[in-house]
Amino acid sequence: MTEKPSIEESTHNLPELSVGELSNALKSTLEDRFGRVRVRGEITGFKRAASGHMYLRLKDDDAVLDGVCWRGTAGRLSLDPEDGMEVVVSGRITAYGARSSYQIVIDSMELAGEGALLKLLEDRKRKLAEEGLFDAHRKRALPFLPQVIGVVSSPSGAVIRDILHRLSDRFPVRVILWPVLVQGDAAAGEISAAIIGFNDLAAGDSIPRPDLLIVARGGGSMEDLMAFNEESVVRAAANSDIPLISAVGHETDTTLIDFAADMRAPTPTAAAELAVPVRTELLAQVMDNGARLVNSINRTLSQYRTILEGLGRGLPNLRRVVEEASQRLDDWAERLGYSLRTGLQSRRARLAAAALPKPKQRIDHARVRLDGQARALGQAAKGLISGHEQRLKQASALLESFSYQRVLERGFALVTDGAGKALGSAGDVKPGMGLAINFHDGRIGATASGKPVTSEGRTVKAQRKKEDGKQGSLL
């Protein structure tokens, strides 16, 4: 019987490992044991690094698991992760020795459950609606009769056959199919690229630019139709310059492309019915309209013919009107010729009877009139001058009668001072004042001696001359 070693001896027999060796051993064990796992949980702590890698944590009611998604894989994910989203991820478990933790390296990610998917779609719908991609004013009217229809759908399956069959029954037109995947991770990119590609076609290209687009897919689950809920597809449909009909799923299925399209069809077959009218109905309508137009024109012509005939009965006989007018014209022409001859003869006779005076006689007559008028003008001038001379003599005699010289001739004299100013009062004379005495036949000088004395013997005081600005009297 062998004796068991003590605990201390067994501990010392364990190999000694470094921290890194232990970490690598644990990492190898986890990767070997959990090479591929599928985990469900709620995303929390999501962040996207500048390098493009994504870091997150998956949690449930019992535990938390770190997760990482490398940049190459992140670009291929079918959804954009965000906090609070419940997802199912697939990947491998590994350890991160720098933090002594384990994590899952995510290879794929999908929503967990229909409720989470509906929440994602509702949030995306609200976001796109706020940007105005679903506004009614962006909707374009469908062309009445498109010449070329572009179809974005799978080349295999009943959808494209149903569309072609329905178009051929109603109104055969040219159809251009852009084959795409309608399910899977790559479907959204191909669908949006097809819509953009149709819009980029020019009028002169070998492939004609469609007048109408139909994006179609058959029915399926919500997960199957997720490609038509992707933001890239919705934006491509909203920005399409070509009118677009969405025909995705059955009548009860609704995707986000239905809100961005110009028209939603419940089924692909209904999309074909919305795209073109029924040719036979158009032909019948055209023929009916033509018949109604012909009948209307005939009725109008008949009505106006009746009106014209009624108006024609009220008109006079045009032949008689012309004959009477011709007779009046002949009569007036004859009378005009006779009147012209008579008028010329009358005026010729008047001209012969009226003798024109000779120019010399008219000149002599005018000279006699001119001589008479000249004599009359001379007599009038003499009379006028004589009248003015008589009035001048009368005015001169009157002026002479009022002259102070006549007064001087009667023995009076005019006394003036040295300046020649008349002195009319004795008070104006001062002793020794030089005087000038004017007689009718000459002037003598004198000097005043003594003071002026009146006839009563009183001395006359010199009067103060009023300076009123008026000229005094000469007498």
| Side-chain-facing half-sphere of 74: CA atoms under 13 Å | 19
Q: What is the DSSP-derived secondary structure letter of residue 95? A: E
Q: What residue ranges do the domains of the chain occupy?
A: 18-112, 148-276, 402-462
Strand partners, 438: 414, 443
Largest interatomic CA distance in the chain: 214
β-strands 174-179, 212-217 pairing:
unpaired
Contact 208, 201 (CB under 8 A): yes
> Tokens in use for 144?
């009445």
Do the beta carbons of residue 247 and residue 265 sit within 8 Å? yes
> With contact defined as beta carbons under 8 Å apart, do 205 and 179 qualify?
no
Question: Is 148-276 a domain of CATH 3.40.50.261?
Answer: yes
Residue 293 is predicted with a pLDDT of 95
Same fold, 18-112 and 148-276: no
Quote the tokens at residue 239: 């920005």
Three-state SS at 314: coil
Cβ atoms of residues 216 and 270 within 8 Å: no
In angstroms, rounded to a whole number, what is the distance separating the alpha carbons of residues 116 and 226?
Answer: 13
Q: Does the domain made of 18-112 have the CATH classification 2.60.40.1180? A: no
Give dist(CA 292, CA 298) in Å, integer. Answer: 10
* Eight-class DSSP state of 426: G
pLDDT by position in tens, the chain (length 475): 445 555 455 555 677 777 777 777 777 777 677 778 888 888 888 999 988 899 999 988 888 888 999 988 888 887 788 887 888 889 888 887 677 778 888 998 887 765 667 777 888 888 898 999 899 898 999 999 999 999 999 998 889 999 999 999 899 899 999 999 998 878 899 999 999 999 999 877 888 999 999 999 988 777 778 889 889 999 999 999 999 999 998 877 788 999 999 999 999 999 999 999 988 888 889 999 999 999 999 999 999 999 998 888 888 888 888 888 898 998 898 888 888 888 888 888 888 776 666 788 888 888 889 988 999 998 998 989 998 999 998 888 888 777 777 777 777 778 888 777 877 777 777 887 888 888 877 888 888 876 666 555 555 554 444 444 444 444 4
Q: Which amino acid is at 345?
A: Q
